[in-house]
Amino acid sequence: MSKTRLLGKTPAQLKEIAASCGLPSYTGGQIAQWMYQKKVRSLDQMTNLSKAARERLSQDYEVGVTEPTEVFTSADGTRKYLFPITFEGRPPFTVEAVMIPDEDRRTLCVSSQAGCKMGCKFCMTGRQGFHGNLSAADILSQFIAIEESDDLSNAVFMGMGEPLDNYEEVMAAINVLTADWGFAWSPKRITLSSIGVLPRLKDYLEGCKCHLAISLHNPFADERLEMMPVQKAYPLEKVIDLLRQYDFSGQRRVSFEYTMFRGFNDDKRHADALVRLLRGVHCRVNLIRFHKIPDFPYGTSPDPVMEMFRDRLGAAGVTCTIRASRGEDIFAACGLLAGKHNTA
Q: Are 166 and 178 in contact (CB under 8 A)?
A: no
What pLDDT, on a 0 to 100 scale, did the predictor assign at position 97? Answer: 95
What pLDDT, on a 0 to 100 scale, did the predictor assign at position 78? Answer: 93
Determine the average pLDDT of the residues in 152-160: 96
pLDDT band at 127 (very low <50, low <70, confident <90, very high): confident
CA 76 from chain centre, in angstroms, equals 21
What pLDDT, on a 0 to 100 scale, did the predictor assign at position 324? Answer: 83
What pLDDT, on a 0 to 100 scale, did the predictor assign at position 342? Answer: 38
DSSP classification of residue 332: -
Q: Are 32 and 49 in contact (CB under 8 A)?
A: no
CA distance 190 to 200: 18
What pLDDT, on a 0 to 100 scale, did the predictor assign at position 1? Answer: 63
Pairing mode, if any, of strands 70-73 and 154-157? unpaired
- pLDDT of 335 strictly over 60: no
Q: Are 6 and 64 in contact (CB under 8 A)?
A: yes
pLDDT band at 85 (very low <50, low <70, confident <90, very high): very high
Q: What pTM, to 2 d.p., does this model score?
A: 0.93
Determine the average pLDDT of the residues in 297-325: 95
To 10 degrees, what angle do helices 167-178 and 200-207 make? 10
What pLDDT, on a 0 to 100 scale, did the predictor assign at position 125? Answer: 86
pLDDT above 90 coverage of the chain, percent: 83
Q: List, in sequence order, the alpha helices (H) in 1-68.
A: 11-20, 26-32, 51-58
Determine the average pLDDT of the residues in 296-313: 95
Q: List, in sequence order, the alpha helices (H) in 244-321.
A: 268-277, 303-315
CA distance 335 to 123: 4
What pLDDT, on a 0 to 100 scale, did the predictor assign at position 171? Answer: 98
Catalytic residue numbers, as ranges: 96, 334
CA distance 222 to 226: 7
What pLDDT, on a 0 to 100 scale, did the predictor assign at position 90? Answer: 78
What pLDDT, on a 0 to 100 scale, did the predictor assign at position 325? Answer: 77
What pLDDT, on a 0 to 100 scale, did the predictor assign at position 343? Answer: 37
What are residue 213's phi and psi, to 5 degrees?
A: -125, 130
pLDDT above 70 coverage of the chain, percent: 94
HEC string of 156-185 equals EECCCCCHHHHHHHHHHHHHHHHCCCCCCC
What's the Rg (C-alpha) of the chain? 21
**Of 167, 163, 165, nearest in space to 192 by CA:** 163
What pLDDT, on a 0 to 100 scale, did the predictor assign at position 293? Answer: 80
Determine the average pLDDT of the residues in 316-335: 76
Which pLDDT tens digit goes with each residue over 199-235? Answer: 899 999 999 999 999 999 999 999 999 999 999 999 9
Determine the average pLDDT of the residues in 154-167: 97
- pLDDT of 100 strictly over 90: yes
What pLDDT, on a 0 to 100 scale, did the predictor assign at position 333? Answer: 53
Specify the higher pLDDT residue, 190 or 324.
190
- pLDDT of 67 strictly over 90: yes
- pLDDT of 160 strictly over 90: yes
CA distance 132 to 335: 19
**Of 101, 84, 94, nearest in space to 148 by CA:** 101
- pLDDT of 341 strictly over 90: no
CA distance 126 to 338: 8
CA distance 151 to 104: 9
